[in-house]
Amino acid sequence: MEFYIVVENGEPYPDAYKTYAAAVAAVKEANREAIEDHIKQCCLEDIESILADINRPEGAKQTHLYIEKGINIIIYKMTVKD
């Protein structure tokens, strides 16, 4: 069984997630204001670039996401061993 742990700037989120999509959704919700502010400060041509740093494909064991203002996020893919 696999699950996902989100670590933002060295601090883990309090919950684990069953899917990568659920982990990314939690990141987006937790950082909604920062994402919206970043988009407002940039021109429309940069929106795709901004979102590309958040909507990254899942990595084999970990995925790095970046939100402006130095908000660095790692989503770790974990497995449960018997």
Say if pTM beats, i.e. exceeds, 0.85: yes
DSSP 56: P
Question: What per-residue confidence (pLDDT) applies to 68?
Answer: 78
Q: What percent of the chain has pLDDT over 70?
A: 96
- State the residue for tokens 């899917």: 19
Q: Which of 62, 54, 56, 60 is nearest to 27 (CA)?
A: 54
What's the structural domain count of the chain? Answer: 1
Q: CA-based angle 28:34:39, to the nearest 5?
A: 95
Domain that holds residue 39: 2-79
- Does residue 43 register a pLDDT over 70? no
Contact indicator for 73, 65 with CB cutoff of 8 Å? yes
Which residues on adjacent β-strands are paired with residue 49?
Answer: none
